[in-house]
């Protein structure tokens, strides 16, 4: 039996995180989820884990380390960057400036967070369906980043 790859969710609003988890579960996936309320928490997990991550879904606006800074840190960290983990933003912040700044960091998507569960379920289905069928370079690295 193949171990399912975890999905990392970075979202500081507990209600939004619960809605996203519900929407993701509605897609029928059984992957484990790791939820973090700030980018720095997610970054520490990503640096230490040897798990092969399926996907990172991150909000933009969060305390301490926002989603943009999280993506910047992933990009500049050789260990994490080589893992080729798909990264998408899911945020209420969708101004032209924020979207442009986000895409300068080369995410694999930016989605505006809908205001209802039905809309979120559609986005969750599309994201999971896309990444379930996408082919990525192998990201099996045996040792975590030590710093």
Using DSSP, state whether 113 is helix, strand or coil. coil
Does any domain span residue 1?
no
The structure's pTM equals: 0.89
- Whichever domain contains 81, its CATH number is 3.40.50.2300
Does any domain span residue 147?
no
pLDDT value for 49? 93
Phi, psi of 88 (to 5 degrees): -130, 145
Q: Alpha-carbon distance 116 to 16, whole Å?
A: 10
Burial of residue 142 (CB within 10 Å: 0-12, 13-18, 19+) is exposed
pLDDT of 55 above 80: yes
Range of the domain at 114: 8-133
Give the tens place of pLDDT for each residue, 73-96.
999 999 999 888 999 999 998 899
Contact assessment for residue 144 and residue 48, using Cβ atoms and an 8 Å cutoff: yes
Does any domain span residue 3?
no
pLDDT of 38 above 90: yes
Does any domain span residue 145?
no
Contact assessment for residue 107 and residue 87, using Cβ atoms and an 8 Å cutoff: yes
Contact assessment for residue 123 and residue 23, using Cβ atoms and an 8 Å cutoff: yes
Q: How many domains does the chain have?
A: 1
pLDDT bracket for residue 7 (50, 70, 90) = very high
């Amino acid at each position: 039996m193949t171990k399912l790859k975890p999905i990392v969710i970075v979202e500081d609003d507990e209600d939004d995180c619960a809605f996203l988890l519900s929407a993701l579960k509605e897609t029928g996936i059984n992957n484990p989820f790791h939820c973090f309320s700030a980018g720095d928490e997610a970054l520490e997990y990503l640096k230490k884990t040897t798990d092969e991550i399926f996907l990172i879904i991150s909000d933009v606006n969060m305390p301490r380390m926002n989603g943009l800074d999280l993506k910047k840190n992933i990009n500049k960290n050789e260990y994490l960057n080589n893992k080729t983990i798909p990264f998408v933003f899911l945020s209420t912040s969708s101004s032209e400036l924020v979207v442009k700044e986000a895409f300068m960091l080369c995410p694999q998507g930016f989605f505006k967070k809908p205001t209802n569960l039905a809309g979120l379920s559609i986005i969750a289905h599309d994201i999971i369906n896309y990444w379930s069928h996408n082919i990525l370079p192998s990201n099996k690295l045996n040792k975590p980043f030590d710093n």
